[in-house]
C-alpha cells in the first residue's frame, strides 16, 4: 500500500467508517485506535530463529483494550504453533484461555474470557 492509501485507511478507521483492519506487525507498534476491541493473531509471532517473539506478541495484543476499555485477543493456533503459544505463556507467566470451538455459538464463552 502506498502512503496515500495508508493515510486514507487510517482516517477511515479512526473516523469509525471502517470496522476491520487487516495489518502486519509494522502497524502493531505505535498505532492507538480507541475502537479496537478484538485482535486476531492469524499466526503466532516468531523470530528469525523460529522461536516465540514475545515482544511482537505483546505489541500485537496491546492494540486492544486500550483507554480503559475491555478487549480480547484471539490466537489461531494449530499443532505446529502450539509450542510458540506455550513459550509465550511461560514468558509472561500467564495462562492463555482456550476457546472451545465446538461450542462457539455460546456467547457466554466470550463473556467469560473478557472478565
| Residue 81 counted as domain residue | yes
| Residue 28 counted as domain residue | no
Model confidence band, residue 110 (pLDDT cutoffs 50, 70, 90): low
Summarised one tens digit per residue, pLDDT across range 3-53 is: 898 788 878 877 877 777 777 777 666 666 777 788 888 999 999 999 999
In the chain, the number of structural domains is 1
Residue 92 confidence (pLDDT): 96
The model's pTM is 0.73
| Residue 20 counted as domain residue | no
| Residue 30 counted as domain residue | no
| Residue 19 counted as domain residue | no
Residue 55 confidence (pLDDT): 92
Position 112 pLDDT exceeds 70: no
Position 65 pLDDT exceeds 80: no
Model confidence band, residue 81 (pLDDT cutoffs 50, 70, 90): very high
Per DSSP, the chain holds a count of helices (H) and strands (E) of: 4, 2
| Residue 83 counted as domain residue | yes
| Residue 11 counted as domain residue | no
Domain region containing 60: 35-101+109-113
| Residue 88 counted as domain residue | yes
Work out whether the CA dihedral 108, 112, 113, 115 comes out positive or negative.
positive
Query: CA-CA distances (angstroms) from residue 86 to 26, 32, 83, 98?
Result: 24, 28, 5, 12
CA triple 16-20-23, angle to 5 deg:
120
Distance CA 36, CA 19 (A): 9
Which among 32, 30, 61 has a CA at the least distance from the CA of 45? Answer: 61
- The mean of the pLDDT values for the chain is 81
User: What CATH number is given to the structural domain containing 87?
Assistant: 3.40.50.300
Model confidence band, residue 82 (pLDDT cutoffs 50, 70, 90): very high
* Entry field: residues in the chain: 115
Distance CA 30, CA 33 (A): 10
Amino acid at each position: 500500500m502506498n502512503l496515500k492509501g495508508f493515510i486514507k485507511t487510517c482516517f477511515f478507521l479512526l473516523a469509525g467508517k471502517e470496522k476491520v483492519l487487516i495489518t502486519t506487525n509494522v502497524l502493531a507498534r505505535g498505532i492507538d485506535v480507541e475502537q479496537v476491541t478484538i485482535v486476531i493473531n492469524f499466526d503466532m509471532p516468531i523470530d528469525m530463529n523460529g522461536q516465540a517473539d514475545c515482544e511482537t506478541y505483546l505489541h500485537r495484543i496491546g492494540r486492544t483494550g486500550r483507554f480503559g476499555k475491555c478487549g480480547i485477543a484471539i490466537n489461531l493456533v494449530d499443532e505446529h504453533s502450539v509450542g510458540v503459544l506455550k513459550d509465550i505463556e511461560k514468558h509472561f507467566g500467564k495462562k492463555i484461555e482456550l476457546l472451545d470451538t465446538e461450542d462457539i455459538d455460546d456467547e457466554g464463552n466470550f463473556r467469560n474470557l473478557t472478565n
